[in-house]
Structures are given as C-alpha cells and as structure tokens.
Amino acid sequence: MRPGSRRSAVTWAMTEKRYNQKRACALAGIDPRVYRRTSRRPADTDLRDRLKDLSSERRRFGYRRLHILLKREGWQVNWKKLYRIYREEGLTVRKRGGRKRAVGTRAPMAIPQGPNQRWSLDFVSDSLSCGRRFRILNVIDDFSRECLAAVVDTSLSGDRVGRELDRIAEMRGYPCMVVSDNGTELTSNAILKWQEDRKVDWHYIAPGKPMQNGFVESFNGRMRDECLNEHLFDNLRHARQLIAAWRTDFNHHRPHTSLAGLTPVEYANRSEEDQNLNRANLN
C-alpha cells in the first residue's frame, strides 16, 4: 500500500472504529509523524486536467508522448513529475494481448539516408460494423516514416496497386526501391510489368520474415492500435474518412520516438534543410 492509501486507512479506523491515532497507525503500518505530515506539493490542477484531456484524446499514448505534446503547448514540466501525476491519475495505457512471437536474433534493417530512396508497402485488413471485410494498402517512406498513402477498398488488385504508386509518384517522383512481402497482388504480372516499365527495383522479403519489412509493419501496428481498434466503421466511406484523418494526424502531429520526438513531416523538412546546408558548404 502507498502512503496515501495508508493515511486513508488510518482515517477510516479513527472515524469508523473509534481507534486512537497511535493504534490506527500501527494497524495500517504507518508512522504517526508521516500521517500527520502535511504535503507541500502544489495541486497542479491545470496540468492534471490538461493531461487527462490529452490522454482521453490519445488513448493509446503513454506518458512519454504525452510529455512531448505538453512541451509543444508550452508546459514546463519534468518528465519524472509528469510520470508521477500520470500514475496518480490512473492513466496507464492498458496493454492488449497478442500472439506469441518467435524469439531469435534479427539483423537490424539499414535506414535510407534520404527521402524517396525506399518505400515499403503492405496490406492491413479490417471489417465494417456489418461484418463486410475491407483492406488497406499502406505505403511508407522508410527515411521519414511518413505514410504516403492509406488506400481503403474491398479489393486491391495488382493493377490498382500500380495506379496508386503512380499517383504518389506524380507528387514525389519514383523511389529507388520498393520493399514488400510475397502476396499474390504484389507478385502479379501487373506489378512485374510496372516495375520493369518504371525502372524501379522491387525487393521481396523472405517468406515468414515480416521484420525484414519492419518500418511498414511497425506502422501497421500503430494504425491498428490507435485507429482500427478504436473505431467502428459504418460503411466504406466512413472508414476512408477516419483513416485519412488519422493518417494526416500521424504525419503532421503525432510525435515519433525513433525520430527524436519529431513528426515525419518535420523530420523530412529538417533533413531537406540539412542536405541543402551541406551542399552549400561543399560549394
């Protein structure tokens, strides 16, 4: 029991059982001086209210990401104090059970040194409230972790995947490489022709080794935890709206721990500025 709980037990024993303070403290296992001590800590009511509001908006965020969001809003608070308040308010993120995973050594995946060098793509499936299944094609830039597309539909063929990649390339240009698994849509003749016509290298990961495509797999987990598991989708249009809003939030507002708390867009813009500065220094 924490000191606060012990104090409550002493107060209850003195009020309900008519014990004197010394005996009630002995039964609760707390020193009378500790019971009588008045806390001088500030109430931090505004901080507690804002923390609870943020945690209700971002129910799958832990105290580290909430700390980053509070710092963005101008709150000057030590992370240890925030963690104490976070625990006192009972805001700990509830862990969801998952399947058992094989334990073994994994080689770290090389990180691209610039945007548009390598894209990763994969599919996620979910269902509408009526039970009808739909799929999501996620495309990630491995350098900035930015989600370039989250295409929602009931069927996504190889031809459709090629068209979506062309649509992204109209705004960003084609990547040097695309990484994917060995799904039937991604090994179809349409995709083989697409990569040959666009002169884009396509790397297929080894069967049964999803961590070879770790960036998009990590993104899929965040999408399922923070978006798909948090909403019931009435129809396909509703699903597209909510997933598009979450994608925008992921790219522009959600702090990414592997990017030092920056968002993917902030990281990409800062990297572009750094590259321009390096070119200027070389010239």
Is residue 259 within 8 Å of residue 267, measured between CB atoms? yes
Q: Rounded to two decimals, what is the model's pTM?
A: 0.73
Is residue 216 within 8 Å of residue 138, measured between CB atoms? yes
Which DSSP symbol is given to 39?
A: P
Q: Which stretches of the chain score pLDDT less than 50?
A: 100-107, 282
For 40, phi then psi, to 5°, come to -105, 5
What pLDDT does 234 receive?
94
What pLDDT does 96 receive?
67
Total Cβ atoms within 10 A of residue 175: 24
Is residue 139 within 8 Å of residue 215, measured between CB atoms? no
Q: Is the Cα dihedral 276, 278, 279, 283 positive or negative? A: positive
Residue type at position 177: M
Question: Which uninterrupted H or E stretch holds 240?
Answer: helix 236-252
Hey, what are 177's tokens? 């490489």
What pLDDT does 276 receive?
63
Beta-carbon contacts of 142 under 8 Å, excluding residues fewer than 6 positions away, are 111, 112, 117, 118, 119, 120, 179, 215
201-204: strand order across its sheet: 147-153, 133-141, 118-127, 177-180, 201-204
